[in-house]
Amino acid sequence: MGKIGLIARREFNERVRKKSFIITTILMPLCMVGIIVLMAWLMTRESDEERKIIVVDESGIVAPRLADEGNIRYRQADRPLDRIREEAPEGIFGILVIGGDIMTNPRAVQLYTYESSTVAIEESISGQIRKIVENEKLKAYDIDNLDAILEEVKTPIVIQTKEITESGETRDSSSTLALAAAYVFGLLIYMFVFFYGTMVMQGVIEEKSNKVLELIVSSVRPFQLMMGKILGIASVALTQLLIWVVFIAVAGGAAMNYFAGDAMEAAAAMNAGGAMPVDMSSMNMDEMAILSRLTDLRYILTMVIGFIVYFIGGYLLYAAMFAAVGSAVDNEKDTQNLQMPITIPLILAIVVMVSAMQDPNSQMAFWFSMIPFTSPVIMMARLPYGVPVWEVAVSAGLLYLTFVGMVWLAGKIYRVGIFMYGKKPSFRELFKWVRYKY
């Protein structure tokens, strides 16, 4: 263990002192925040370019009632459709043709465009036409004060979701927050495991090509060398991760206190079982539930501890496999085929994660959160929704037991591969290396 610790410290010191580590540690959270802000801005941003649409209405019902919306501008046709299509007026986005039987045939609508259309444009058009047709059908019933009646009967329903804990207590729950947390934490596990795992592989390849390993193994066993590298890079990852957690906690807390200070106090009071100190009538139930969960220390600790447990377990498992691959080849070009069996479970986990976020208690989500090769991603996608303690314990136990077995297996490949040069081994040869007796 002393030699493993010495190698781990050397790996840690060598990487932490690099400028790339400092730059990455500082820039990564800033880049992530920037990407999130940019995505939110792009999603809410409307194009400044006007979309002019000529409306050919054979029914005479819809066109007079179409109202400009956003950057869409409607103009009723002053000539037949054939002439409009032949002349192709300049500056026109498209032609909207509404059939004469629109009241009985919902498909009697066609949109001809001179450039690619978008879902937002089509939804805006279809939404307006649907309301116009529905209102015309209602008018056929000859009801007095129909508009006032429709406005009066509008009743938006707000569902306040409460989660019942194992102790029988209830607490606010937010499916929006759970979905966002599942996506973010699951994706972070995938990125970090793959990034730091390949870092182990690249380090082994570099030292092998420089003949450094031949000198090192004269003093330590190959297994000790592999474990030292894995644990050293793991400590680098944890250091970087803790810095990011502190940064996000401080920056996020400051931002939330600035934008929603009173709401945070109210949510904290609700968690403590007291009354809300401020009027929260301006907030909807889901926003209040999100703030309540974000001020719930137990929820935050569950997510942070769960992330650390599955990040460490997932990293150790995949780092052992990546170290074995790195020891078996001479350069990174030769790693592609050998990496395939390693990357497939990670990619599969991302695919299944989408389903797990929609139905975290499904059989598929349950079993993939138990399989060690996919459990780090899938369990983190399920954890925000609430997972029984026994499932987390079994999943984490299987993950770390598999890591121990994989280290033993990878160690056999590692101690042979680090002395192999000039040959690209096949999977059959790797299997032979595992069976060698020493």
Among 196-210, 341-355, 386-400, the minimum mean pLDDT is found in 196-210
Decide which of 8 and 127 is more confident: 127
At residue 43, does pLDDT exceed 70?
no
Q: pTM for the full model?
A: 0.68
Question: CA 34: distance to chain centroid?
Answer: 16
pLDDT of residue 280: 47
Token pair of 18 as six digits: 């690099």
- Indicate the range of 111-120, 193-202, 395-404, 425-434 predicted with least confidence: 425-434
Which whole number is the average pLDDT over 40-64? 78
Q: What is the pLDDT of residue 401?
A: 93
**The pLDDT of residue 257 is above 70:** no
pLDDT at 413 over 90: no
304: closest CA among 368, 384, 231? 384
Strongest mean pLDDT among 18-22, 98-102, 239-243? 98-102
281: confidence class by pLDDT, cuts 50, 70, 90: very low
> What does the pLDDT look like over 202-254, one tens digit per residue?
877 777 776 666 677 667 777 777 788 888 888 888 888 788 777 777 776 67
Segment 108-122 mean pLDDT: 85
State residue 87 phi and psi, 5-degree precision.
-75, -25
Confidence of residue 295 (pLDDT cuts 50, 70, 90): low
What mean pLDDT is reported for the chain? Answer: 78
Distance of CA 290 to the CA centre of its chain: 18
The SS3 assignment for 279 reads: coil
pLDDT for 198 equals 84
Tell me, what's the pLDDT at 277? 47
Q: Among 317, 265, 302, which Cα is nearest to 392's?
A: 302
| Mean pLDDT confidence for 273-284 | 47
Positive or negative CA dihedral for 325, 326, 328, 332?
Answer: positive
* Residue 429 vs residue 284, higher pLDDT: 429
- Position with higher pLDDT, 197 vs 284: 197
Contact between residue 306 and residue 380 where contact means Cβ atoms under 8 Å apart: yes
